Amino acid sequence: MRIKQFKKIYFIYNADGGLLNEIKYWINKNLLNKQNACELCDISHSKIFVRSEWSQFINELKKDHNVEVLHRNEIPTKILEKNYGFPCVIGETENDLIEIINSISFNGFGKIEGMKELREKLHENGV
């Protein structure tokens, strides 16, 4: 499927948004070493800040496509109803939602290298 057929592309974190949730996630991951990792978070963020490579990547996509980057607690109902595992990348067509990259695929992505792997996986899926 070509990306032009997608009305919208959603990148969905396996974490909740909002300042308190982001602080809680950061403490659990970096100070308490809890295993509640979000591989998309690792690709898009350093320990504190959004990676410039991620911002550039998303801005490139936004030049030609409608892109949303969301946390679990920000997801539209139509996506929640599909019971996707997170993190994931979802493409919305006129009639359906299509999982472009599933949570299992994200498990194999590295941190910095994950940006390259993410680009390759999107390209394989016509994005």
Give me the residue spans of the domains in the chain.
Answer: 3-124
pLDDT band at 9 (very low <50, low <70, confident <90, very high): very high
Token pair of 6 as six digits: 């997608």
On the question of pLDDT at 79 being above 50, the answer is: yes
On the question of pLDDT at 3 being above 60, the answer is: no
List Cα–Cα distances, 56 to 35, 52, 59, 126, in angstroms. 28, 6, 5, 20
- Please state whether the predicted TM-score (pTM) of the whole model is above 0.85: no
- Which pLDDT does position 68 carry in this prediction? 95
Fold of the domain spanning 3-124:
Glutaredoxin (3.40.30)
Averaged pLDDT for residues 62-80? 91
Higher-pLDDT residue of 110 and 21 is 21
Phi, psi of 70 (to 5 degrees): -130, 155
DSSP state of 49: S
On the question of pLDDT at 45 being above 90, the answer is: no
- Which pLDDT does position 77 carry in this prediction? 93
